[in-house]
Structure 1
Amino acid sequence: MLALLVPVLSAPADAAPRDTRHGHGHGHDHGKQGSETVDKSSLPAPPRPQQARPTQRIVKPTVQRQKAPVRTSAGQTLAPANAKTAAGVKTGANTLVLYDATGPYAWLGEIYGTQNAQLLSHFGSWTAHPVGDYVAGEMAGFTAVFYAGSTYDEPLPVAFLDDVLADTKPVVWAYDNIWQLTARSASFGTDYGFMWSGFDFASVSQVQYKTRALTRDPQNAGGIMNVSISDPTKATSLATAVRADGTTFPWAVKARNLTYVGEIPFSYVTHDDRYIAYSDLLYGTIAPQTAERHRALVRIEDVGPDSDPDELRAIADYLKSKNVPFSVAVYPEYRDPLGAQHNGVPTTLKMRNAPLVISALKYMVTKGGTLLMHGYTHQFSNVVNPYDGESANDFEFYSAHVDPVTNSVIYDGPVPGDSYNYAAGRIASAFAEFAASGLPKPTIFEFPHYAGSAVDYQAAKDKVGVRYDRPLHFTGQLSGGAPDYTKTVGQFFPYLVRDVHGSVVIPENLGNIEPDQYNNHPARLPADIIATAQRNLAVRDGMASFFYHPYLGTAYLKTTVEGIQASGYTFVSAAAVQVP
């Protein structure tokens, strides 16, 4: 096996120093070069398989796994007692999420399980546990089953294989261990009309789905399982992998109750990734009758007491002229404790003492704006975290630093003194400042730089409720252990979900306009945002959601909004998507 790097997220949105070339207002400008997003996930693929062509066999555990006791829910659904069950944003569907949990990369299996579960929460409740704990007959109590095979030759219970082959429930199976399923059925190829042949390690940078060319990071060295369809009346190719030489092979295939995806779709994900195809395949499995609907969202980012009120009014006027509802992410107290933008003089400005900004925010509300809470100060204490301690530059709920060699922002873990009460206190202070300023009480929270600890996420859920960001999640959360902050990854969504922290999450999946490269992130212009929105049209009921910094003026915003509208999207308010 090849070694894998522990995933380390690089520069998040907004995580870049302010551009001070055009200072104004309180002695600095709002031209930050960063954004709240990560443009590429560093979540790795499973290791390169031990053999290009696996041995078709059922793998028995070398050490007998201690079977978890079985519990029965009120609905008579069997599940191991160690299973995690959570509600979704809808009612009706109830999915079973299975993941690999043995060997040195068991943590990776749990991460894939978490990401599967978060996507599936859009459709209803879910139950997740290691595949090795599967109980005979368990899938009968679920709408569908999703298994991510991330460990080569993970021992799979024969009961699980038999229940898949019984053809009674839809099953989506990704990547490894398909050879154990075919070993259990001598007639699999005849019955299902397709068969795997081995891992294909060719460079694949594109996956064709519907009419969309989606990207795939070629640094993904895990390979894709090549399958061939022998009977097109029984098996259908749903998406196609395109090699560098232009030749193709099925990336995902469906036959009878089984949808097989040749790789893990959660690794090395970018905005335009084949992850989009997988997100829509869930509709095909759980809700195939879903009608086409394409909605868009725009959020005006990093607005504080130090913002330029004229910029805010100009943006509100433009969006109103296009009948575009919008959100405004507000941090209600500005701090520059190290004087980074004030000649070394520590500076604080509360929203209540910024009457022109308060007036501009109220004006934005009259033009269709919804104010949300973007932390309290959008920075931490009086330290560099990771830039200069100034509001909107630094993290508030998570520690980070800039690697001096790679120039990437590295996540270090919870801030010193982090606790549920710390996060709840920051949120309470923010509410108090909104109230003192005469602004509407926000009902949506966005983590500064999209980062917080597990207890911070819990506090945000309890004190505010709905979030509008991309969550971090950590190993241990699905399996019931303590969060492991050395293995931290993020995820974005093309539709409303309820994440592993329990909050309903409004999606942001396009990123933001960023004219300049920063911290190893390339520039991102309106054409890039529009292209990503067009790729997301592959999701039959998906959203195109981006955010925008007001210091950029209105020209970029006009191009982006009108390009998204011309692509077939209708802009809606964040409130309109909180309930499916």
Structure 2
Amino acid sequence: MARDKPLSRRFVLLSGGAALAGTALPRGTAAAAKPTRQARSVSTYAVHDYPTNPYLRPQGGPLPGPRPTPNTAKTGAALLTNSAPSTPNSTMSTLAAPLATTAAGTTPSTLILYDTTNTWGWLGELYAIMVANLASHFGTWTAVPVVKYTSGMLNQYSCTIYIGSTYGEPIPTAFLNDVLAGTRPVIWAYDNIWQLTAQAANFTAQYGWNWSSFDFSTVAQVDYKGQQLKRYSANGAGIMNYAVVGSNVSVLATCVRSDGTTFPWALRSGNLTYIGENPLVYISEGDRYIAFCDLLFDALAPATPTRHRALVRLEDIDPTYDPTQLRAVANYLASQGVPFGFQVIPRYLDPNGYYTGGVAQNIPLASMPAVASAFKYMLTKGGAMINHGWTHQYSNIINPFTAVTGDDFEFYRVTQNSDLTLNYQGPLPPDSKAWAMGRFTSAATDLRAAGLAFPSFVTFPGYAATATDYEVAAGIFKARAERSLYFSGLLTGAPTDYTRIVGQYFPYVVRDVYGTKVLPDNLGGIEPLAFEIFPKRLPADILADAQRNLVVRDGFASFFYHPSDSLSYLETVVSGLKDMGYTFVAPGSL
């Protein structure tokens, strides 16, 4: 029994998955000469910008109810393998092999330095998590508070990345001197660059550039490698401008003001790459964030050959779906030589009869043999099955829409406000390793009853889970295919703080701080109609952002499609990506 759902996870993804992190935040003070801030209001970001969206802004402060019990069973230190050089108060990760192409016999290592002081110091760890996730694509990483830096540490790594998120962070002189020594590549983003320039009497002569002040112009575009990348124009934090940019300086990317004038977004001279803003805030599809993702290749894998791969995922398929539609989609993709992933929800629940006039529905896959047969058929046509939870809802409690499969979150407590925006509250009451394992075990049981094996891949419903749930998934699945949430405490070893949270997507394969391989999910999904606060997203939007993602030299165009939508939407995107030079690959090949 297929049904027409007015609410769907697809809308949650387009909202929560559209952007990430950050707004202009109060800053501290610094002893060195520095540019001044201007107080600016931050306007809305289309329908995506609402204060409780962790995929748009870092969440901080007390929850409206009792704080969830901290997850003490797993910390960043316990999760990750320590085999990088010893450093004080650090978190380290080592991959079995780098996920990027590197010179034979080498594994790049990254030192990540982050801010921790003053009111907003907690943001530094969240940004460091995001950088660590990206750096894992290339090899090992080590994350250390910048205030704990000691002399010579920089020379133990292939590259050092510092995200200046606290205005006036007390940066150790040892770090400044090691950067100026010029022995290893350094990527420095945003704040506190004035401390570095003040440390060198001849900085301008040595590097060929120097800062002037923050530019608060409206900038909605960053040009990089011939592509016009998007930028949230209402981001009022300011972008660094320059008093001097010499001929020996490489301007890597350019800000475009609303009047068409330009100034550098990122530049490089000698060992130093400087980005004039924090590239980890207000991230959307096709955003200038992907320029930052690509710049990491210059420091960590410069010999990487250019290639562009594509992934397509069929979304939210439960036992009530039309098997004829599923077979038609599989036939089309097979005819185009396109392997694909398809998400399976093994059991459909409508416990309160939301769509059936109060009559509860409980439909396991085994009771719908035609749908189970369609799944088996899809496997023969190049499909890879992806687990999508057990029921894609929590219980008979609305979480936050209808309590019906495909509509609600399964592994995270979410509520809805009167203005239709969402609150990511934290763990559900029963959240634990045993509970999460029980959901996956039940999913496996239902699949086996229908004659299907349990998949090697997972996408958490609603792109939301707790640190505990991610840990359980790491022990079950080969990879996650999704965007994900990250919390304070994952690097420091402190109890997981669900009041401080961000989300992130990746344009290439990573192994994130939970220790799991994560497949790219960077273009979002096709959505023919707008709904509530969520906009429509048509094939043209997917293709425009795929064009922007060509700047990532070994990147992906990864999108999702609902089989209940017109096949023409899928056909348009598939043919368009092929015309751009993307090659479709199977999830299992990554």
Q: Same fold (TM over 0.5)?
A: yes
Q: Deviations over 1:57-108 (max 9, x none)?
A: 9xxxxxxxxxxxxxxx99782411x200112473301100010000010111
1:248 matches 2:225: no
Q: Is the 8 A contact 2:18 2:524 kept in 1?
A: no
Question: What CA distance in whole angstroms lies between the structure 2 residues aligned with 1:461 and 1:307?
Answer: 29
Aligned to 1:83: 90
Alpha-carbon distance, 1:160 to partner: 0.6
Aligned to 2:163: 148
Q: Is the 8 A contact 1:45 1:268 kept in 2?
A: yes
Residue 194 of structure 1, aligned match among 193, 199, 209: 209
Q: Is the 8 A contact 1:471 1:492 kept in 2?
A: yes
Residue 137 of structure 1, aligned match among 152, 155, 159: 152
- Counterparts of 1:487-526 in structure 2, within 5 Å, are 487-526=500-539
Q: Is the 8 A contact 1:171 1:259 kept in 2?
A: yes
Aligned to 2:33: 55
Aligned to 2:11: 34
Alpha-carbon distance, 1:45 to partner: 3.4
- Counterparts of 1:83-482 in structure 2, within 5 Å, are 83-88=90-95, 90-91=97-98, 92-233=107-248, 235-404=249-418, 406-482=419-495
Give the direction of change, closer, same or farther, for the CA distance of 1:241–1:76 in structure 2 (3 Å limit): closer
Alpha-carbon distance, 1:245 to partner: 1.2
- Structure 2 residue identity aligned to 1:301: E
Aligned to 1:14: none
Question: What CA distance in whole angstroms lies between the structure 2 residues aligned with 1:312 and 1:76?
Answer: 47
Alpha-carbon distance, 1:327 to partner: 0.5
Give the direction of change, closer, same or farther, for the CA distance of 1:132–1:257 in structure 2 (3 Å limit): same
Alpha-carbon distance, 1:381 to partner: 1.2
Aligned to 2:64: none
Alpha-carbon distance, 1:39 to partner: 4.5
Alpha-carbon distance, 1:41 to partner: 2.6
Q: Is the 8 A contact 1:379 1:393 kept in 2?
A: yes
Question: What CA distance in whole angstroms lies between the structure 2 residues aligned with 1:551 and 1:259?
Answer: 47
Aligned with 2:143: secondary structure?
Answer: strand
Give the direction of change, closer, same or farther, for the CA distance of 1:448–1:39 in structure 2 (3 Å limit): closer
1:529 matches 2:552: no
Q: Deviations over 1:327-353 (max 9, x none)?
A: 010011111101111221111011111
Alpha-carbon distance, 1:231 to partner: 2.5
Alpha-carbon distance, 1:35 to partner: 5.1
Question: What CA distance in whole angstroms lies between the structure 1 residues aligned with 2:244 and 2:304?
Answer: 27
Aligned with 2:296: secondary structure?
Answer: helix
Aligned with 1:401: secondary structure?
Answer: strand
Question: What CA distance in whole angstroms lies between the structure 1 residues aligned with 2:385 and 2:252?
Answer: 41
Alpha-carbon distance, 1:477 to partner: 1.3
Q: Is the 8 A contact 1:35 1:514 kept in 2?
A: no
Alpha-carbon distance, 1:519 to partner: 3.8
Q: Deviations over 1:434-470 (max 9, x none)?
A: 2221113311111001100110110111122411111
Alpha-carbon distance, 1:47 to partner: 2.2
Aligned with 2:266: secondary structure?
Answer: strand
Question: What CA distance in whole angstroms lies between the structure 2 residues aligned with 1:393 and 1:54?
Answer: 52
Q: Is the 8 A contact 2:398 2:408 kept in 1?
A: yes
Aligned with 1:165: secondary structure?
Answer: helix
Q: Deviations over 1:508-541 (max 9, x none)?
A: 1100011122242211000000001010000000
Q: Is the 8 A contact 1:31 1:551 kept in 2?
A: no
Q: Is the 8 A contact 2:32 2:195 kept in 1?
A: no
Aligned to 2:69: none
Q: Is the 8 A contact 2:28 2:169 kept in 1?
A: no
Question: What CA distance in whole angstroms lies between the structure 2 residues aligned with 1:46 and 1:468?
Answer: 31
Q: Is the 8 A contact 2:20 2:280 kept in 1?
A: no
Question: What CA distance in whole angstroms lies between the structure 2 residues aligned with 1:519 and 1:93?
Answer: 45
Give the direction of change, closer, same or farther, for the CA distance of 1:537–1:42 in structure 2 (3 Å limit): closer
Alpha-carbon distance, 1:26 to partner: 4.8
Alpha-carbon distance, 1:109 to partner: 1.2
Q: Is the 8 A contact 1:90 1:124 kept in 2?
A: yes
Give the direction of change, closer, same or farther, for the CA distance of 1:295–1:27 in structure 2 (3 Å limit): closer
Give the direction of change, closer, same or farther, for the CA distance of 1:346–1:379 in structure 2 (3 Å limit): same
Give the direction of change, closer, same or farther, for the CA distance of 1:90–1:220 in structure 2 (3 Å limit): farther
- Structure 2 residue identity aligned to 1:136: S
Aligned to 1:13: none
Alpha-carbon distance, 1:499 to partner: 1.1
Question: What CA distance in whole angstroms lies between the structure 1 residues aligned with 2:84 and 2:553?
Answer: 33
Unpaired runs of 5+ residues, structure 1, are 1-24, 58-72
Alpha-carbon distance, 1:251 to partner: 0.5
Give the direction of change, closer, same or farther, for the CA distance of 1:215–1:54 in structure 2 (3 Å limit): farther
Deviates more, 1:192-201 or 1:428-437: 428-437
- Structure 1 residue identity aligned to 2:465: G
- Structure 1 residue identity aligned to 2:91: K
Question: What CA distance in whole angstroms lies between the structure 1 residues aligned with 2:559 and 2:141?
Answer: 28
Aligned with 1:265: secondary structure?
Answer: coil
Q: Deviations over 1:20-51 (max 9, x none)?
A: xxxxx255559846253424335113426679
Question: What CA distance in whole angstroms lies between the structure 1 residues aligned with 2:510 and 2:228?
Answer: 25
Question: What CA distance in whole angstroms lies between the structure 1 residues aligned with 2:185 and 2:412?
Answer: 40
Question: What CA distance in whole angstroms lies between the structure 2 residues aligned with 1:283 and 1:462?
Answer: 30
Q: Deviations over 1:399-443 (max 9, x none)?
A: 112211x21122111111111111111111111222221113311
Deviates more, 1:359-368 or 1:482-491: 482-491
Question: What CA distance in whole angstroms lies between the structure 2 residues aligned with 1:312 and 1:335?
Answer: 20
Alpha-carbon distance, 1:361 to partner: 0.6
Deviates more, 1:235-244 or 1:434-443: 434-443
| TM-score scaled by length of structure 1 | 0.89
- Structure 1 residue identity aligned to 2:140: S
| TM-score scaled by length of structure 2 | 0.88
Alpha-carbon distance, 1:568 to partner: 1.1
Q: Is the 8 A contact 1:46 1:151 kept in 2?
A: no
Aligned with 1:365: secondary structure?
Answer: helix
Question: What CA distance in whole angstroms lies between the structure 1 residues aligned with 2:343 and 2:492?
Answer: 34
Question: What CA distance in whole angstroms lies between the structure 2 residues aligned with 1:470 and 1:56?
Answer: 36
Residue 22 of structure 2, aligned match among 29, 32, 44: 44
- Structure 2 residue identity aligned to 1:454: A
Q: Percent identity?
A: 47
Question: What CA distance in whole angstroms lies between the structure 2 residues aligned with 1:470 and 1:148?
Answer: 22
Report the count of equivalent residues: 535
